[in-house]
Amino acid sequence: MNKNPIGVFDSGIGGLTVVKEIRKILPDEDIVYLGDTARLPYGTKSVDAIMQFSIENAEFLISRGAKFIVIACYSSTSVALDVVQKKCSVPIIGVIKPGVEQALAITKTGRIGVIGTSLTIYSGAYEKAFKEFNTRCEILGRACPLFVPLVEEGWLDHQATELIAQAYLQPLKEDNIDTLLLGCTHFPLLMPVIKKIMGDIHYVDASVEVGRELAQQLKENKLENPRGLGNLSIYLTDLSMNFKEIGERFLAEPMRNFSRISLKGA
């Protein structure tokens, strides 16, 4: 047993969709969340920059007592998970592997689609993660960069959103995938429009799988805190105009305890 909090970081507030799932499966654990909102989005930054930001984020969470770190950012997991693991003393998981495992467990035909931001898809991080399982499945990646601003604008069921989703997803539909992995924190909010286009296939929301994987690893490492208060502290490197409105959309509960903090470079 370990009473210290779980640390979670993301480039922004989208990672609160992961926090939401962690709180469902581990309601007693304390969580410290860091959103590097002063430097978001990571998806358009260079690999070097993302590595440096990710290390700073992890160090901050460790300075706040984190016993375990979840990288809730796809861009960061894609390019910086290894380097953060090497630099830090606590166990760390990213958002990619748990979703990959679930997609492999659930697919029948072995044709799996993955959608994410441009960096997540073009970095080849998913291909690499699937390869580690020696799978023969065919992995079809598709970048959907406009999904992020559409979610932040709150246009979850606008006709334009449907047209954009249609344009992005049509190639995956034509490729007859039977499983679609949502590889971005923002995308679960577009699940209804995605399902409308893709129809009756299997869907994997990586945030849910990360929660499960975390619960299992806490148990294996004897790090659980089954009698905690379930406190959530949110730190952001910048407080933008509408972060609270958007954040609560992701978290699906009120954001009560948040502060602005400065990192070295943020």
What positions carry a catalytic annotation?
Answer: 73, 184
Minimum distance, C-beta of residue 142 to a copy of itself, in the bound complex (Å): 13
- Rounded Cα distance, 166 and 190, in Å: 12
Minimum distance, C-beta of residue 214 to a copy of itself, in the bound complex (Å): 29
The residue among 172, 174, 196 whose CA lies nearest residue 183 is 172
167 touches a copy of itself by CB under 8 A: yes
- Rounded Cα distance, 207 and 95, in Å: 7
Minimum distance, C-beta of residue 196 to a copy of itself, in the bound complex (Å): 15
23 touches 232 (CB < 8 A): yes
Q: Helix, strand or coil for residue 40?
A: coil
122 touches a copy of itself by CB under 8 A: yes
* Closer residue to a copy of itself, CB minimum distance, 42 or 130: 42
Residue 200's contacts (CB-CB under 8 Å, 6 or more residues apart) are none
Using a 10 angstrom Cβ sphere, with 0-12 exposed, 13-18 middle and 19 or more buried, the burial of residue 257 is exposed
Stretch that binds a copy of itself, among 156-164, 193-201, 209-217, 225-233 (CB under 8 A): 156-164
152 touches 81 (CB < 8 A): no
Residues in 188-207 that interact with a copy of itself by CB under 8 A: none
37 touches 240 (CB < 8 A): yes
The number of beta carbons lying within 10 Å of the beta carbon of residue 24 is 12
Minimum distance, C-beta of residue 234 to a copy of itself, in the bound complex (Å): 16
- Rounded Cα distance, 261 and 254, in Å: 20
Residue of the chain from 4, 64, 240, 248 that contacts a copy of itself (CB under 8 A): 240
Residue type present at position 234 = I
Q: At what angle do helices 191-198 and 159-174 cross, to 10 degrees?
A: 50
259 touches a copy of itself by CB under 8 A: no
28 touches a copy of itself by CB under 8 A: no
249 touches a copy of itself by CB under 8 A: no
Stretch that binds a copy of itself, among 88-96, 158-166, 169-177, 196-204 (CB under 8 A): 158-166
Residue of the chain from 4, 20, 49, 178 that contacts a copy of itself (CB under 8 A): 49
241 touches a copy of itself by CB under 8 A: yes
Residues in 135-154 that interact with a copy of itself by CB under 8 A: 145-146, 148-150, 152-153
- Dig out the tokens for 129 from the structure: 């993660």
- Rounded Cα distance, 203 and 213, in Å: 18
* Closer residue to a copy of itself, CB minimum distance, 158 or 219: 158
Point out which residues bind a copy of itself (CB under 8 A): 37-40, 44-46, 49, 118-119, 122, 145-146, 148-150, 152-153, 155, 158-160, 163-164, 167, 238-242, 265-266
